[in-house]
Amino acid sequence: MNTVLFSHSDCTRHITPRGHPERVERLERLEDVFNQPEFASIERLDAPLCELDRLTLAHPQSYVDQIQDLEPVHGFAYIDADTSMSKGSWNAARRAVGAIVQATDMVLEGSAKNVFCAVRPPGHHAEKTRGMGFCLFGTVAIGALHAIQKHGLERVAILDFDVHHGNGTSNILWNEKRVLFASTHEMPLYPGSGYESERGSFDQIINKPLGTGTGSAEFRTAMNSIIDRMDKFKPELIFISAGFDAHYDDPLASLRLDEEDFYWATREMKDLAHAHCKDRLVSSLEGGYSILGLTTSVRAHLTALME
């Protein structure tokens, strides 16, 4: 078994307005990384379109219909000031969810050790009935619920190290005792949630807010606390909401992490997956808006996954 990489050209057909940080260039520049000789052994697969019933694992049918109907023929349709759709956004979002669903099936059925989904739009801000923060559907939350519904898992863990709190993942999984959701994020910062007191209905949500300017030492201390909780939880599968906007070069936030921190965090999750999950780990791209920070961090993340 090896590391699998999902992507699809449809994810570059989700167009955002001029000057928007969540832009097509992010994936285009990551393709340059993936084509480097060091990643030649990665199995590349096209992300499939998800079945529509996978979307309703996390969202009501009325919301799914709303998003499908909102896609414009020309120009942009806005969900909020930051979150928009273009012609092509619907299929891009379905590819993002399709990647996480097929990745989950592959690791649980033994045809992959771990998977990275290089997809967009991101997902961790999408709540049950509201898209926001560049996100349309709760991609990683859907992956966790798919693992429970299709494969019968009882313990799934999610780590979200994006610099912004995964409010959507938290909202979708608030009452789901079979999923442990842990987030490190800058605070104060958009979306304004993620206090330590937000613990879910079953004390299964862990928030570790980090102050402005926080660097490696404080991040790793917070991560070690999460690792201890995950170790006690003994997950059968681990997901990573892999946002790289806590990098020091990112324009949307003020944490001071670098690619070595993301390499370390990925290795720690791999060690947990080895101890409890038969190495089964699925990662999906969230944020990261500095091309330098994104490309160097994804390179480190993939390197750790392949080791």
Tokens 């720690």 sit on residue: 268
Q: What is the pLDDT of residues 216-252, one digit of tens each?
A: 999 999 999 999 999 999 999 999 999 999 999 999 9
8 closest CA partner among 36, 41, 37, 30: 30
Taking the whole predicted model, whether its pTM rises above 0.85 is answered as: yes
Q: Structural domains in the chain?
A: 3-306 (3.40.800.20)
Asked if 134 and 84 touch (Cβ cutoff 8 Å), the reply is no
The model's confidence at residue 86, banded by pLDDT at 50, 70 and 90, is: very high
The model's confidence at residue 17, banded by pLDDT at 50, 70 and 90, is: very high
Asked if 63 and 128 touch (Cβ cutoff 8 Å), the reply is yes
Does the pLDDT at position 1 exceed 80? no
**Conformation bin of residue 202: beta by default, left when phi > 0, alpha when psi is -120 to 50:** alpha
pLDDT at 48: 99
Q: What is the pLDDT of residues 248-270, one digit of tens each?
A: 999 999 999 999 999 999 999 99
Beta bridge partners of 209: 185
Q: Write down the mean pLDDT value for the chain.
A: 98
pLDDT at 88: 98
The DSSP code for 74 is S
Average pLDDT rounded to a whole number, residues 27-46: 98
Q: What is the pLDDT of residues 109-145, one digit of tens each?
A: 999 999 999 999 999 999 999 999 999 999 999 999 9
Supply the residues annotated as catalytic: 125
Q: What is the pLDDT of residues 155-174, one digit of tens each?
A: 999 999 999 999 999 999 99
pLDDT at 54: 99
Average pLDDT rounded to a whole number, residues 2-14: 98
Do β-strands 205-210 and 179-186 pair in parallel, antiparallel, or remain unpaired? parallel
